[in-house]
Amino acid sequence: MKASGHCLGGGRHAARPFAVPAPFRAAFLALLLAAAPAHAEAPDTGLCLSCHGGPGQAPATADTPLLGGQPELYALYQLVFFRQGQRKHDVMTELVAEMSDDELRALAAWVGTLPPPAAIEAEVERTALSQERFDRGAELARSHRCGNCHEPDLTGREHMPRLAGQQEAYLLKTLQDYKAGRRVGIQAAMAEVLSDMDEADLEALAHFMAHAGR
Ligand code: HEC
Ligand code: HEC
């Protein structure tokens, strides 16, 4: 792949072998077939939306996060973490591996313009609301002061992500990743805040966040 130039093109040159998990193969094929965009400055974000979902487009899998409403700074940190290998995901890591700082900045700026999940509700499949689990999650969020960092309405700010309306299966997976030390962020805040919780607590929190603000 070319070291400079646009981020997602490279087409036929992008054939470094690595395993693409089954649900992502179609999107990855689209990446390999993508024509080079005319301008290096304009990231080819159609591919991003094909996995992450957006207006008129459902996310590819239940554990793929929606990007809408995420603060630009948070998105930038995560893209850098993927590039450094500090945060791991086969496709994300590969996508950003050879991108420049400017390319990551352009992508993060784009993420910062996307509408929040509430605006694309029709595209998102939700689990049926369980009032009992929602209330348990809300109580855990209150007692652990999630809102101090993520904002009381869980819409996030700066390097702290939006949680409200995120995909539930993704939220659960990522809480498990923090607790198990598979995902390490800018600070140890998340591992600490989850340290006294069990699996049922994580499930209740994920359910609460996914249904929050709706
Ligand atoms: C093949 C599917 C796929 C494609 C294509 C893809 N992503 Fe992702 N992305 C994912 C998955 C799955 C995750 C969650 C990884 C995990 O579980 O940690 C993710 C995570 C992210 C995150 C972190 C979100 C959060 O809430 O922490 C950002 C930011 C992101 N992707 C941006 C992008 C951008 C920008 C593009 C296009 C250049 C893109 N992604 C293309 C599947 C994809
Ligand atoms: C001291 C501040 C702080 C507190 C308190 C806190 N968080 Fe976080 N949280 C963060 C930061 C910072 C990140 C981003 C870390 C990274 O870079 O991975 C984060 C990330 C997350 C993510 C990942 C979101 C995504 O899109 O990938 C989830 C989910 C989350 N927090 C849930 C919670 C819950 C639930 C609570 C309360 C039980 C909580 N947080 C309390 C600071 C905090």
Q: Which residues line ligand 2 (CB under 6 A)?
A: 65, 77, 140-141, 144-146, 148-150, 159-161, 163, 166, 171, 174-175, 183, 185-187, 189-190, 193, 205
* Residue nearest (by alpha carbon) to ligand 1 atom 40: 48
Classify domain 128-211 by CATH number: 1.10.760.10
Determine how many CB atoms are found less than 10 A away from the CB of residue 134: 17
- Encode pLDDT of 133-170 as tens digits: 999 999 999 999 999 999 999 999 999 999 999 999 99
Domain locations in the chain as residue ranges: 11-118, 128-211
Output the pLDDT for position 125.
84
Q: Which residues lie closer than 8 Å to 117 by C-beta, 6 or more apart?
A: 66, 68, 69, 124, 164, 165, 166
Q: What CA–CA distances, in Å, run from 10 to 33, 99, 127?
A: 9, 12, 39
Place of tokens 């693409």: 20
Q: Does domain 11-118 have CATH number 3.40.50.2300?
A: no
- Ranking 20-29, 58-67, 155-164 by mean pLDDT, the lowest is 20-29
Q: Say yes or no: do domains 11-118 and 128-211 share a fold.
A: yes
**Which ligand sits nearest to residue 67's alpha carbon?**
1
Looking at the DSSP bridge assignments, the partners of residue 57 are 54
Determine how many CB atoms are found less than 10 A away from the CB of residue 154: 21
Q: How large is the C-alpha radius of gyration of the chain?
A: 18
- Encode pLDDT of 165-188 as tens digits: 999 999 999 999 999 999 988 878
Q: Which residues line ligand 1 (CB under 6 A)?
A: 8, 24, 27-28, 47-48, 51-52, 60, 64-65, 67, 70, 75, 78-79, 89, 91-92, 95, 107, 111, 161, 173
| Token duo for residue 96 | 């950003």
